[in-house]
């Protein structure tokens, strides 16, 4: 399916106009959000959505997040109860995805939600993403812009490196992503439940709701296929909670535990999150037998970091 060369678009009005034009024509355009780069396609165009799965080599049961410019646009697609409305009001635009019942007149291609009667919706904050979504004026389905099972891209070059030239029409270059972890995914129906930890800390959500969140591990059933253990995997094996590397390994440090690279020498979890995918990618390229990773505390963004690392460390072939 490789067509003409993939265009690298500058973060200018002209670049946004070109990206808008390509998306409206049903082409795939990768664009920056504050979490990770998304591989965007017009959500109302089932062929365009199909090309997303094709490009990613993604298992087709894995539904996509729909990106819109505003809450008003989100309400045309999904049904928001009081909790969902309160969360959208508190955290949009931002790194939160809400899974809500889909409106029948939404016009969103079935493939987007892989046949589910719910839809995952996000209003990103990154200015280029906002300008693009406003200009497109229709919902844009976008998974992370990486081949399925690989690390999410946090820079335009990661996207370019992931796909054969021409498989995607263009990449809008917004520089590195500020948060560097995917959005936190939450459903509120029938009750608030965390489907994927991510860039918005659970503590902030619990403070908004006024009570603790139920997690999927507490119910044992998988609602978001992204929860499958080996979804986010570098090519190299990952060994967790390491204090130092064996002879054939490379080491990803954190805080006082040194390594070939260190997620945050000061032990700052926000900095660690922003560095996570880029550093895993760099270490993955070194051809070691394994990437040994220092212990990361399980609080705030540390939860999402550990979630990603545990998936990377899980035996392959589960997703
Ligand atoms: O930060 C992000 O969320 C990035 C940027 C590009 O927005 N996107 C992203 O998309 O991480 P993706 O496709 O890599 O992950 C989307 C997750 C998947 O785990 C998928 O299963 C889940 O969202 N999902 C989508 N629709 C769903 C639904 N209706 N019910 C449950 N889970 C859903
Ligand atoms: Mg992904």
Tens place of pLDDT for every residue, the chain, 319 residues? 556 899 999 999 999 999 999 999 999 999 999 999 999 999 999 889 878 888 887 654 478 999 999 999 999 999 999 999 999 999 999 999 999 999 988 899 887 887 788 999 999 999 999 999 999 999 999 999 999 889 999 999 999 999 999 999 999 999 999 999 999 999 988 889 999 999 999 999 999 999 988 765 555 454 554 444 334 467 889 999 999 999 999 999 999 999 999 999 999 987 887 788 778 889 999 999 999 999 999 887 788 788 888 888 887 654 3
Residues 99 and 185: beta-carbon distance below 8 Å = yes
Going from the C-alpha of 144 to that of each of 183, 216, 284, the distances in angstroms are 10, 22, 19
CA of 36 to the centre of ligand 2 (A): 9
- The residue to which tokens 């059933």 are assigned: 221
End-to-end CA distance of the chain: 25
Check if 68 has its Cβ closer than 6 Å to any atom of ligand 1.
Answer: no
Check if 35 has its Cβ closer than 6 Å to any atom of ligand 1.
Answer: yes
- The residue to which tokens 């996000």 are assigned: 122
Strand partners, 193: 187, 214
CA of 37 to the centre of ligand 2 (A): 10
Q: How many CB atoms lie within 10 A of CB 243?
A: 10
- The residue to which tokens 């049904």 are assigned: 79
User: For the whole model, what pTM was predicted?
Assistant: 0.84
CA of 303 to the centre of ligand 1 (A): 18
């Amino acid at each position: 399916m490789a067509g003409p060369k993939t265009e690298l678009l500058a973060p200018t009005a002209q670049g946004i106009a070109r990206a808008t034009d390509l998306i409206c024509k049903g082409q795939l355009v990768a664009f920056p959000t504050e979490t990770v780069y998304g591989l965007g396609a017009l959500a109302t165009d089932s062929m365009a959505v199909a090309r997303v799965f094709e490009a990613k080599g993604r298992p087709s049961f894995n539904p996509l997040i729909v990106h819109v410019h505003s809450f008003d646009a989100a309400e045309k697609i999904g049904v928001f109860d009081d909790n969902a409305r309160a969360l959208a009001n508190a955290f949009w635009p931002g790194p939160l995805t809400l899974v809500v019942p889909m409106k029948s007149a939404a016009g969103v291609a079935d493939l987007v939600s892989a046949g589910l009667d719910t839809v995952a919706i996000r209003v990103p904050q990154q200015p280029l993403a906002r300008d693009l979504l406003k200009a497109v004026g229709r919902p844009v389905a976008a998974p992370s812009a990486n081949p399925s099972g690989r690390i999410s891209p946090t820079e335009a070059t990661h996207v370019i490196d992931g796909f054969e030239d021409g498989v995607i029409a263009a990449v809008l270059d917004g520089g590195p992503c500020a948060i560097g972890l995917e959005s936190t995914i939450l459903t509120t129906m029938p009750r608030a439940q965390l489907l994927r930890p991510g860039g918005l800390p659970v503590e902030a959500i619990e403070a908004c709701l006024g009570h603790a969140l139920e997690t999927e591990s507490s119910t044992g059933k998988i609602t978001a296929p992204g929860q499958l253990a080996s979804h986010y995997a570098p090519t190299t094996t990952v060994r967790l909670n390491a204090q130092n590397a064996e002879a054939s390994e490379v080491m990803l440090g954190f805080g006082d535990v040194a390594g070939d690279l260190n997620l945050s020498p000061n032990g700052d979890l926000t900095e660690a999150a922003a560095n996570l995918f880029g550093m895993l990618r760099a270490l993955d390229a070194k051809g070691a037998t394994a990437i040994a990773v220092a212990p990361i505390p399980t609080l705030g963004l540390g939860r999402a970091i550990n979630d990603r690392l545990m998936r990377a460390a899980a035996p392959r072939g589960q997703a």
